[in-house]
Structure 1
Amino acid sequence: MLDNVTFANPEFFWLLLLLPLAILWYFYKRNEHVASLKIPTIQGFGHTDVLSKLKPLLFILRLLALTAVIVAMARPQTEDISTKTKTTKGIDIVMAIDVSSSMLARDLKPNRLTALKEVAAEFIKERPNDRIGLVAYAAEAYTKTPITSDKSIVLRALKEITYGQLNDGTAIGMGLATSVNRLKESKASSKIIILLTDGVNNSGFIEPQTAADLATEFGIKTYTIGLGTNGNALSPIAYNSDGSFRYGMRQVEIDEDLLKDIAKVTGGKYFRATDNQKLEAIYDEINKLEKTEIEEFKYYKYEEKFRPWIFLAIALLVFEWLLRNTLFRSFI
């Protein structure tokens, strides 16, 4: 009867403390309500003796009825809670990913591009209420996926990003400008670009500074990430006769001043990822910096459960009255 039940007025349970007092008072006063009679034999009163021993049952029934009334006064009720959430501040995000040959360098495991895709996939999964798009760039840039709320599409497109889909090079300005183009018409209250590169701007016909100014004009914040270890990294340096890459040690060159400037102009932040763990930490930090505000509405439905206790109390009192005026009548 009390499964999943709460009490609207639990303070009435303090009245249960009266029950031990009532029991003590009953035992203290019971002799005053019992008449004594001295007779030579009780042979003819065997049945009466049994009833006299059962007479405390009347008091027990009253106590149980009182207990039921107290429980009813505490207002037992079941609570049904339904929740509805509403996104009050949506964020549109474009992830601009460098897919030049240097992204195959093996200073991150198994290489920079694969490590990035794994971390970016987790980032996407943790943004269920945002729209996300993908831009890939090397010597040129293109939109892999326009901003969408369908994360399965974005994750599938991210998985398909590989080296060789574009001419080799690093056009940071083109990657940033393409990302801005995807977000400039967005009606979201917050628009974000996460631009990652492992090199210097050496391709494209749009200067990174110009693209950064465009981002600022459209109110688009840009987080920039420089990817690569400090010093030398095992990187592609030439092609083998079978078309595969030949690897060798190459100096890691990242235009950190440019990336810092882009982040500063647009109101974002620059990060440097030198290994897998730092790359994961960077995306975790961006995830914390850009929070989607969600408004939650809770609807409560209460169903009162005091009536069965009232009916139980009435039934006990009626039963006690019937016993008192029938079976125990001669003893009252």
Structure 2
Amino acid sequence: MLELEWPWILLAAPLPLIIYKLIPPAAQANERALKVPFYRELVSNTYTSTVEIKSSNTYTIWLLGLIWLLLLLAASQPKWLGDPVQLKGSGRDLMLAVDLSGSMEIRDMELNNQAVDRLTATKHVLTDFIQRRRGDRIGLILFGSQAYLQAPLTFDLKTVKTLMDESNIGIAGNKTAIGDALGLSVKHLRNRPEESRVLILLTDGANTAGQISPIQAAKLAQEKQIKIYAIGMGADEMIQPGLFGSSIGARKVNPSADLDEKTLTEIAELTGGQYFRARNTEELDKIYQLLDQLEPVDQEEEVFRPSKALYPWPLASALIISLLMALSSLWSGFRPFNKRGQV
């Protein structure tokens, strides 16, 4: 069906006519008389020319009126509403909080038999996870030294996936503000149905920045009945090459030495969630597959009506008519006229 966003704008349609009737015409300058011997022929030619001009002026006035109506129609924001689409009445509200601190660039993960950094592995796994969340609302928080809301809770999974793919290490700072990320998540989940509030936290380190501690934020999440699933990411060991990248002097190191598993476990247990350890891409994928098994809860059904804006059509029509009138005026040597139809 057709709908006008601002139909009251159409009340301005008679405005040009009102102005025409109320405002007096511009004063005409007195012209001097000239006596000529061929008066009859001149009167005949003048009459014919006057008839043509009046006809042209009437035609122009109608076109100007049409342009005015088209502009008003475009300004009233017409749109076409499609058939109602029933959204799923069950699902979850999942907020993803992803660590983008400097340590996420450590290349201790493997993807397709190639060493990749932790963020690349995270993007690879999260892409499939997000695509499987049809019927759930997904939100995205990226954090480093600060926490930022990249996507509010939404059914638009494609946009969330795109925002995750476009994220880069360090854009939120090189430190790790886990507490702030939890606090921001609580802020956006607290008004959702109680049984569906879920936060999935992925980090590879310990809280080193922010205004609130992770435990304080977890207690706040507990009060708001938000369940937190924490994922600690990073390999337990990796080979650090020796001088100039050779095997001479190479040694094993623990790239996850800074991972605060104790705090992450406490956060999950406080809120009724669970802590997972992802040492490689396969384990990370299995964790998200396990999270797929969360039971959906009943929510209020929502009805969505797709709409298509139609204002470009009357706007373009008005522009085309104006352009044709301008070209016609240039072609025929048409002169401006006043509101009484005089040249």
Contact 1:105 1:234 in 2 (8 A): no
* 8 Å Cα contact 1:139-1:203 kept in structure 2: yes
Q: Secondary structure at the match of 1:252?
A: coil
Structure 1 residues 102 and 121, CA, compared in 2 at 3 Å: closer, same or farther?
same
**Is the CA contact 2:145–2:175 (under 8 Å) kept in the aligned structure 1?**
yes
Q: Which has the higher strand share?
A: 1
- Residue 283 of structure 1 aligns with which residue? 288
Q: Which residue pairs with 2:55 in the alignment?
A: none
- Classify 1:188/1:255 alpha carbon distance in 2 versus 1 (closer, same or farther; 3 Å): same
| C-alpha distance in structure 2 between counterparts of 1:293 and 1:184, whole Å | 17
- How many angstroms apart in 2 are the aligned matches of 1:198 and 1:260? 13
In the TM superposition, what whole-angstrom CA distance separates every residue of 1:193-217 from its partner, at most 9, and x where no partner exists? 0001101111111010111011111
1:147-158 map, 5 Å: 147-158=153-164
Distance in 2 of aligned mates of 1:157 and 1:206: 26
Amino acid of the residue matched to residue 132 of structure 2?
Answer: E
Counterparts of 1:166 and 1:258 in 2: how far apart (Å)? Answer: 22
1:200 and 2:206 matched: yes
Asked whether 1:124 is paired with 2:130, we answer yes
Task: Give the aligned partner of residue 92 of structure 1.
Answer: 93
How far, CA to CA, are the matches of 1:290 and 1:161 in structure 2?
30
Q: Secondary structure at the match of 1:132?
A: strand
Q: Relative to structure 1, is the Cα distance of residues 277 and 259 closer, same or farther in structure 2, using a 3 angstrom cutoff?
A: same
1:30-45 correspondence to structure 2 within 5 Å: none
8 A contact 1:224–1:263 mirrored in 2: yes
CA spacing shift, 1:251–1:128, aligned 2, 3 Å: closer
Letter paired with 2:275:
Y
**AA partner of residue 269 (structure 1):** Q
Distance 2:281 2:88 in 1: 32
Would the alpha carbon gap of residues 200 and 233 (structure 1) be closer, same or farther in structure 2, given more than 3 Å must change? farther
Q: 1:231 deviation in Å?
A: 3.2
What amino acid does structure 2 have at the position aligned with 1:259? L
Q: Give the total of aligned pairs.
A: 200
1:118 and 1:233 map into 2 onto residues whose CA distance is 23
User: What is the correspondence of 1:136-215 to structure 2 with a 5 Å cutoff?
Assistant: 136-187=142-193, 189-215=195-221
Q: Name the structure 1 match of 2:225.
A: 219
Match of 2:269 among 241, 244, 264: 264
Which has the greater radius of gyration?
1
The alpha-carbon deviation at position 280 of structure 1 amounts to: 0.3
Kindly indicate whether the alpha-carbon contact (under 8 Å) linking 1:90 and 1:189 is maintained by their aligned counterparts in 2: no
Q: Could you tell me whether the CA contact under 8 Å between 2:91 and 2:296 is conserved in 1?
A: no
Post-superposition Cα deviations, 1:250-302, rounded to whole Å, max 9, x if no partner, equal 642211110110000001010000001000000000111344669xxxxxxxx
Unmatched segments (≥5 aa) in structure 1: 1-83, 236-247, 295-332
Asked if 1:231 is matched to 2:232, the reply is: no
Instruction: Give yes or no for contact 2:102–2:173 (8 Å, CA) kept in 1.
Output: no
CA offsets 1:160-216 (integer angstroms, 9 cap, x no match): 111121221011111111111111122364111000110111111101011101111
Compared CA separation, residues 188 and 158, structure 1 to 2 (3 A): farther
The equivalent of 2:66 in structure 1 is none
After superposition, the Cα gap between the structure-2 partners of 1:292 and 1:200, relative to the gap in structure 1 and judged at 3 Å, is same
TM score, norm. by length of structure 2: 0.54
Quote the Cα distance in structure 1 between the aligned partners of 2:87 and 2:172: 40
Q: Shift of residue 89 of structure 1?
A: 3.2
Counterparts in 2 of 1:56-71, with a 5 A limit? none
In 2, Cα distance between equivalents of 1:219 and 1:136: 22
C-alpha root-mean-square deviation of aligned residues, in Å? 2.4
Residues 1:256 and 1:250: Cα distance change in structure 2 (over 3 Å): closer
Please list every run of at least 4 consecutive aligned residues from structure 1 whose deviation after the TM superposition is greater than 6 angstroms. none
